[in-house]
Amino acid sequence: MDFELRALPDNAVQRVYKGRFYVKKKILFLINVEEPLINETSVYSTSNMLPLDNAAGGVYDINTFTAIPAGAERFLLQQRFNFVPNFSALDIGGGYQTIVTADLSRVYSPIAPTAYPKNTPFHNFYTNPVTSENHIQFTSDNGRWLLSELKGVAGTYKCENTCASVSTMGLGGPPNVCQSGTSYSVYNLPPNASVTWNLSPNLTQISAQGANPLVVQANGSGNAWIDATVNYACGSQPLNRFNVLAGTPSTPGSIIGPNSLCPNSGGYYRVEPVSGALSYNWVWSGLQYYSGGYNYNITLSTPSNFGGGYVQVSAVNNCGSSTPVYLPVGRYYSCYSYYSYSVSPNPSTDNIRIKSTKEETTPSETGTVPSAKKPKIEAKLYYFADGSLAKTYQVDKEDFGIDTRKLKRGKYVLHIIENGNIVVVEQLIFE
């Protein structure tokens, strides 16, 4: 599934939805096919649409409906969104007035109602001057107001003078919770307020309930969360959920990269990013450093006397390191390449040339001689940032050109492969 959903922009034509659903499978164990369930579709806003998702009013919070799957937080840029805007709930203008962007964030107060023609037809209403409440949420304030109205007594509940500052409240603290005590605080807490804390199961609360700051420690590992509800003179206000990582990072998945290499060549190794990891610790033996290694990918080269080795990596955060994952790297024993290669220019702006020169048929360091038969040659470009494959080319001439103008600007890693064996690894820059 490829799925992207964005909030409505302000009176602009932009794509707000793009999606496709498909099944990816192999036919006859060989051919990759994608069978669409729903064809790719895009939906665009129009120039007369307002940014309703960001309007003041009753909101929905995704966390109240379902637990967000581990690792999915980075795909959800906004977890709270407007459901019923204030201007709509109050029927501002009775449906006969053009609503503009300024009406979405206007203050609607029963103390100073908006003037005709953008007035409300209701005799009385209640609004929270501090924060947008969840859709259909009863608080002590709006509950007292509703009770008064049901009794036939016009009620006005307003705490703008004493509580206006609480709109700046928030929850802060470090991104990781270790086994030692870690503190989290509600900032801009009103006077005489207390905090009700709620934690995910892999966290243990050390400080007393209601205390600020909160002190917690990890009793497990993985994604975790902290909820805080502030209780103060004007009622209760839940704060946005604070997502953290408990304990050391999870062990990375298997290392992706070649498990056999030729002397005087190299390999590009990577792992899938681990949630909450701040860095990655790469260790290797028998190979040599070439580039990268500061993140979840690294390029290593092999010396002329390469006889085998290994690559190892662990994810690291403030709490320590995960269990390392290990990949043994053996040596190919038929490594003599048919060609020697040169790649230029580097950096490149529009194209690169791969020039190949026939090697002399003398014994190699492995005791073998090059095949007299011209090999199948491939050139593969990988994105340096995440190690994913960008493009594959079949090199069918000794002066082979690659047009780089349609590729993203940035760093790449080039593999030149003869009959399945990597014989060249080189970092390229496209400017």
- Domain of 197, CATH number, reads 2.60.40.1080
For residues 178 and 108, membership in a common domain is answered with no
Q: Would residue 155 count as lying in a domain? A: no
Which of 7-11, 148-152, 263-267, 305-309 ranks highest by mean pLDDT?
Answer: 7-11
Q: pTM of the entire structure?
A: 0.45
pLDDT given for residue 160 in this prediction: 46
Q: What is the pLDDT of residue 290?
A: 84
C-alpha separations of 147 from 73, 201, 216 in Å:
40, 38, 40
Give the residue from 330, 359, 392 where a domain finishes: 330
Q: With beta carbons less than 8 A apart as the criterion, state whether 316 and 307 touch.
A: no
260 in the same domain as 184: no
pLDDT at 403: 92
Q: Is the dihedral of CA 219, 221, 225, 226 positive or negative?
A: positive
Using DSSP bridges, classify how beta strands 176-177 and 242-246 pair: parallel, antiparallel or unpaired: parallel
Higher pLDDT, 383 or 199: 199
pLDDT tens, position by position, 373-425: 788 899 999 888 777 889 999 998 889 999 999 899 988 888 888 888 777 77
- Please provide the average confidence, as pLDDT, over all residues in the chain: 84
Residue 146 forms part of a structural domain: no
Beta-strand pair 80-85/222-232:
unpaired
- Given 330, 346, 367, the domain boundary residue is 330
Q: Cα–Cα distance between 30 and 412 in angstroms, integer?
A: 28
Q: Are residues 321 and 427 in the same domain?
A: no
The residue from 330, 350, 383 where one domain ends is: 330
Above 80 in pLDDT, residue 167? no
Q: Do both 215 and 252 map to the same domain?
A: no
Over residues 266-281, mean pLDDT = 86
Which range marks the domain in which residue 316 is found? Answer: 248-330
Can you tell me the mean pLDDT for 220-227?
88
> Tokens in use for 348?
């490149």
321 assigned to some structural domain? yes
pLDDT in tens, 297-328: 898 988 888 878 899 999 998 888 888 999 88
